Amino acid sequence: MAIEDDVLVIGGGLAGATAALAAADAGRDVRVRLVTYKQSTLRHASGLIDVLGYAPASDGKAEGPLVDPFDALADLPEGHPYERVGSEAVREALAFFDDIAGDAYAGDHTDRNALVPTHRGTVKPTARYPVSTAEGLASDDRDALLVGFETLPDFEAPLAAAHLEAAGAPFSARGVTIPFPGIVRDDAKVTRYAHLLDRDETVTTGAGETGAREALATTVRQHLEGEPRVGFPAVLGDERAAEVRTALADALGADVFEVPMGPPSLPGIRLEDLLYGALEDAGVRVTSGVPVVDYEMADAAGAGSAGAGTAADGGGVGDRIDRVVVDRNGTEIPHRADQYVLATGGLVGKGVRSERERVFEPIFDCHVPHAEDRYDWFVDDVFGEQPYARFGLAPDRELRPLDARDEPEFANLRAAGAVLGGYDFAAEKSGGGVSLATGYVAGRRAAEEVDE
């Protein structure tokens, strides 16, 4: 016996969740399961959905920030994930995301990139942004007060404000650092700040006992000099973030926005929650906390054949995955589906791994193009064109990973998100968009292919 489904998605980040949702939404009655091992890199992520901020240029100098990412999609090199799926799929995937996100995200009113200030005072070109950051856009000419907390050194507000001004933002930015009422520890977690505000816990300040929201607003008010908007590090609540922002804005008489932070990131966590809520609503079954470690191929008769997983000479369009093996604390659980989507992430998410002599994809051993000599995997210039940043699977236009002979590794496996190669999302600012577009296409195609 195996656990049976029609479509099995491996990986629970933005690409995997999108693939599962797109498969469930394909208009056919297919049973979709998502298996995810560790928590996804969404917890490292800013929560912004970038399509393309900078175009990769031939001379190694990236071009940008781009005003309209869609203008640049057609010029991307062959093999780039966007080139594989086509720009129409990028638009469809964004529209699909907009439907799921509802009013939690903004930016769908235009093709053009929005400019969102980050915690270092840089400005990030992005296509969709959490509504909590909407009042903070750098293109907005209203003056801003940035507020940092003494116990949260990741956001140095005065420095961020100075950076923003130096970057030519069309407004005056000022930064102040204040104590966060109710927190004295230097190493309180971001979830603790969020929890205090979510629950409006009672805190003790010099002025006596009040709710955390009121106490915070009172402290900030003393520093406000008529700025119409106030930016905070992105820790303003988790489950009740909108409520927290509204309460602070009312108390301050100013618009309130969040500045995206580095990991661990609450906007990333909120996006994860939003996606998993949508998965539940869509009837997608989720198995989490366990890795897929192996697979078995179907022989011509359709039965599983053991001893696979040594796919060095596999390949050929006819090869099909019959089942995958999930390792549950030492016990091997077979999962069978008709179609599979691999969305296990890249070098950080560990969907692509390396040893000293090779770079490989650990579950199906799909081909990862890379130089023989490991000294050719990187260049000395840290911010130069790093080959390793583009490591990943090379797919056909169906997103089926190709082997060294450019044949699909398996007929019923597609790949999505950072496990794909051929693009440098950190340099291009294209991570979210590629995950959405490839996840959407892989999930839709998988559902269409499911045997009647």
Q: Which residues make up the interface to other proteins (CB under 8 A)?
A: 1-3, 35, 37-39, 41, 43-44, 183-185, 187-192, 195, 199, 239, 263-264, 269, 280, 285-291, 293, 326, 328-331, 333-334, 348-350, 353, 355-357, 360, 362-363, 365, 374
- Secondary element (H or E) of residue 293: strand 292-298
CA geometry: angle 18, 22, 27, nearest 5 deg: 165
CB of 323 to other proteins, least distance (A): 12
Least distance from other proteins to the Cβ atom of residue 127, Å? 25
Q: Which is nearer to other proteins, 167 or 286 (CB)?
A: 286
Minimum CB distance to other proteins smaller for 63 or for 239 = 239
- Within 10 A of 333 (CB to CB), how many other CB atoms are there? 16
DSSP calls for 186-200:
TT--HHHHHHHHHTT
Q: How far is the CB of 201 from other proteins (least distance, A)?
A: 9
Q: Least distance to other proteins from the beta carbon of 23, Å? A: 17
**Closer to other proteins by Cβ: residue 138 or 343:** 343
Tell me whether residue 48 or residue 188 sits nearer to other proteins (CB atom): 188
Give me the least distance between CB of 433 and other proteins, in Å please. Answer: 22
Residue 380, C-beta contacts closer than 8 angstroms, at least 6 positions apart? none
> CB 15 → other proteins: shortest distance, Å?
15
- Minimum distance of other proteins from residue 356's CB (angstroms): 4
Looking at the DSSP bridge assignments, the partners of residue 230 are 145, 256
For residues 295 and 440, which CB has a smaller minimum distance to other proteins in the complex?
Answer: 295
CA atoms within 13 A on the CB side of 89: 24
Strands (DSSP E) found in 21-111: 32-36, 105-106
CB nearer to other proteins: give 291 or 431: 291
Q: Which value, to the nearest 10 degrees, does the dihedral of the CA atoms of residues 33, 240, 38, 321 take? A: 20
Q: Which is nearer to other proteins, 41 or 87 (CB)?
A: 41
* Residue (90 or 359) nearer to other proteins, CB: 359
The rounded Cα 130 to chain-centroid distance in angstroms is 13
Q: Which is nearer to other proteins, 348 or 379 (CB)?
A: 348
Question: Closest distance between other proteins and the C-beta of residue 283, in Å?
Answer: 9
- The torsion of the CA quartet 92, 93, 97, 99, rounded to 10 degrees, works out to 20
Q: How far is the CB of 39 from other proteins (least distance, A)?
A: 5
Q: Which residues contact 166 (CB under 8 A, 6 or more apart)?
A: 121
Structural contact between residues 219 and 181, judged by C-beta atoms closer than 8 angstroms: yes
CB atoms within 10 A of CB 375: 6
Residue 134 burial class via C-beta count within 10 angstroms: exposed 0-12, middle 13-18, buried 19 and up: middle
Kindly report the length of the chain.
Answer: 452
